[in-house]
């Protein structure tokens, strides 16, 4: 007799996450940045690596393989054939082609046919600071097909502008972008970084029922004079992890996520300085393993301010 799959027979109180993201052998981006934090928060996480690279693409060179849509289908078929496709959450990050994104949409439908309550947390990675790093045709697929099926979206400022066909130049603009996205589908929207008048902030919005006014808030974020890789992937994973523990309190979840992230970034900067490296001179690999206590038990140092 085949033994039971314990993550299904005795599920964790938190959930079972399928995470489709990139993978690097060295360093922390994509699944390497998202899986460990979610496990620390008590989730069973099954990663599918959309790419497997030696290191992230910011290095002078990288080698590796890219998973195509057909290969993703084969993995899903293998799981389904063994009754292993029950998940509470789907998490996606950087996706480099329309064909792969289209297959991800098929995966969403398949997972929801098995668990209609599946929550899809989508980081619509398209670019930053006015620059696209995906093929332009992906933008309309995200806007027209992905946004309507997502439960939570975590765009940055530029991505929120692309998804809403609007400019975000004030807090009011940011809140309105959240409203536009709610109307298209997701009940939770977190614009993870907005630069307004030299200030960096996060704006979050939770529409608990269609037709109700969303509860909206902001968190002021300190600017650290350094560039990091993997922080967006980590932020979205933390928002998934904490919002599921506080389903009616997105502002509390965001406080915990931001506080973890900021502690980790400060440690990263300090460690590079200790090693004699100027943290402003290049992109920095985050100190994920060394920050596990800040992930598991964050001290809330960044408070949400609710909008009326």
Q: Which residues are catalytic?
A: 233
Residue 258 has φ and ψ, to the nearest 5°, of -65, -40
Q: How many CB atoms lie within 10 A of CB 304?
A: 21
Paired sense of beta strands 127-128 and 131-132, if any: antiparallel
Contacts of 182 (CB under 8 A, 6+ apart): 189, 205, 207, 214
C-beta of residue 250 within 8 angstroms of C-beta of residue 206: yes
Distance between CA atoms of residues 54 and 48, nearest Å: 16
CA distances from 40 to 6, 58, 238, 251, 289 (A): 18, 28, 10, 21, 11
d(C-alpha 134, C-alpha 26), whole Å: 23
Dihedral angle, C-alpha 189, 195, 196, 202, nearest 10 °: 30
Spatial contact of 260 and 33, defined as CB atoms under 8 Å apart: no
Maximum alpha-carbon separation in the chain: 64
Contact of 125 with 50, CB cutoff 8 Å: no
CA angle 82, 88, 90 (to 5 degrees): 90
The β-bridge relationship of strands 64-66 and 44-53 is antiparallel
Provide the residue count of the chain.
308
């Amino acid at each position: 007799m085949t033994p039971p799959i314990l993550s299904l027979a005795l599920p964790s109180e938190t959930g079972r996450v399928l995470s489709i993201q990139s993978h690097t052998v060295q360093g922390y981006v994509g699944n390497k940045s998202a899986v460990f934090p979610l496990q620390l928060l008590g989730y069973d996480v099954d990663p599918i690596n959309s790419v497997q690279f030696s290191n992230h693409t910011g290095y002078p060179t990288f080698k590796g393989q890219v998973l195509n849509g057909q290969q993703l289908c084969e993995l899903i078929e293998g799981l389904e054939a063994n009754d292993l496709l029950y998940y509470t959450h789907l998490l996606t990050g950087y996706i480099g082609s329309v064909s792969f994104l289209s297959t991800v949409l098929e995966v969403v439908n398949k997972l929801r046919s098995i668990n209609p309550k599946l929550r899809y947390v989508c980081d619509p990675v398209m670019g930053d600071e006015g620059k696209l790093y995906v093929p332009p045709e992906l933008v309309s697929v995200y806007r027209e097909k992905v946004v309507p099926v997502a439960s939570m979206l975590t765009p940055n400022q530029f991505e929120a502008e692309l998804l809403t066909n609007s400019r975000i130049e004030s807090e009011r603009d940011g809140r309105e972008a959240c409203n536009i996205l709610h109307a298209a589908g997701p009940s939770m929207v977190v614009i993870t970084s907005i630069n307004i008048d030299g200030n960096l902030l996060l704006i979050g919005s939770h529409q608990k029922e269609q037709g109700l006014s969303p509860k909206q808030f902001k968190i002021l974020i300190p600017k650290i004079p350094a560039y990091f890789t993997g922080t967006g992937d980590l932020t979205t994973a933390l928002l998934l992890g904490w919002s599921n523990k506080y389903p009616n309190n997105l502002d509390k979840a965001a406080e915990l996520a931001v506080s973890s992230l900021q502690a980790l970034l400060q440690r990263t900067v300090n460690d590079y300085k200790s090693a004699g490296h100027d943290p402003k001179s290049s992109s920095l690999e985050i100190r994920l393993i060394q920050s596990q206590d800040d992930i598991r038990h964050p001290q809330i140092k960044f408070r949400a301010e609710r909008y009326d």
